[in-house]
Chain A
Amino acid sequence: MAAEIEVTLDVMLARRKIRSKELAAEIGMTEANLSLLKSGKVKGVRFDTLARLCEALDCEPGDLLAVKRGD
């Protein structure tokens, strides 16, 4: 199985104690898209979206994404 990228946004949200709704409003994204991103049901993330997420959550891209290595 090939390696996959896992979105760990929900972990960071819990650490920062921020609700999805608040984050979506802060970075100017719809709640629906944020929910898709959290569940990993998207093909990719734009760099500007990633930058806004990092800015709002005060973190690095690596804190939001992880590599899930296959066997």
Chain B
Amino acid sequence: MSERTEISKDTRDSALWLSVVAWGLFGLMAVDIGNVIRERIGALSPGGDGWLYIGNQFGLGLVEAMPSIFLLFALLGFAHLFRRCSEGQIFTERNVKTLRGGGDSLLLAAAASALVTPTLVEWISGNPGGLHLQANDLTLGVGAMGLAIRGIAHIFREGVLIKQENDEFV
């Protein structure tokens, strides 16, 4: 049985458009992450910094960009999801997995932004001791979106089961 479903032109166009938007945002965010890391490395003195120091600065840049990196993974997943939807592959196990992964990425982005990045940055900067929580409305919102998308993935799975059953009728 085919995984493709006949979809209307409107649905196809909307999904395609959302895929393009997700790819655009992916590109912008990738550039932004590149800038964060480049700024870290660019802060080095021109001549004599050792490779270890450069590596540390690169690592610090990655830690600072960690929330955005998780968002990047979420966007990548959504771009693929919408592209597949535009091709008529909607209620598939693969899309459930992608949605679940997208939700997880948003949850991880929120956790990284609120806790992991501030704590690691403080530790690397020589202020160890305890966890550093920096939660704000935005991180809570991203976390809530992650949870919501995980919930949607769960409901979507029911849709996949209904489609599979429906496909067994001719």
* Smallest Cβ-Cβ distance to A37: which chain B residue: B170
B165 at the interface (CB under 8 A from A): yes
* Smallest Cβ-Cβ distance to A29: which chain B residue: B170
> Which stretch in A13-21, A39-47, A54-62, A63-71 binds the other chain?
A39-47
B87 CB to nearest A CB, Å = 19
Contacts of B168 in A (CB 8 A): 42-44
| Bound Cα distance A41, B165 (Å) | 13
B169 at the interface (CB under 8 A from A): yes
Max chain A Cβ within 10 angstroms of own Cβ: one of B165, B168, B169, B170:
B170
| Bound Cα distance A62, B136 (Å) | 68
Contacts of A34 in B (CB 8 A): 170
A36 at the interface (CB under 8 A from B): yes
| Bound Cα distance A21, B165 (Å) | 26
Binary interface encoding of chain A residues 24-40 relative to chain B, with 1 for a CB under 8 A from any of its CBs, else 0 = 00000100011011000
| Bound Cα distance A43, B165 (Å) | 8
| Bound Cα distance A34, B165 (Å) | 17
Max chain B Cβ within 10 angstroms of own Cβ: one of A29, A42, A45, A49:
A42
Contacts of A37 in B (CB 8 A): 170
A9 CB to nearest B CB, Å = 11
Residues of B125-170 whose CB lies within 8 A of A? 165, 168-170
A36 CB to nearest B CB, Å = 6
* Smallest Cβ-Cβ distance to A49: which chain B residue: B170
Contacts of A49 in B (CB 8 A): 170
* Smallest Cβ-Cβ distance to B169: which chain A residue: A44
* Smallest Cβ-Cβ distance to A53: which chain B residue: B170
Contacts of A46 in B (CB 8 A): 169-170
Contacts of A44 in B (CB 8 A): 168-170
| Bound Cα distance A37, B169 (Å) | 9
Contacts of A33 in B (CB 8 A): 170
| Bound Cα distance A37, B99 (Å) | 34
A71 CB to nearest B CB, Å = 27
Contacts of A36 in B (CB 8 A): 170
A51 CB to nearest B CB, Å = 13
| Interface pairs (8), CB distance under 8 Å | A34-B170, A37-B170, A42-B168, A42-B170, A43-B168, A44-B170, A45-B169, A45-B170
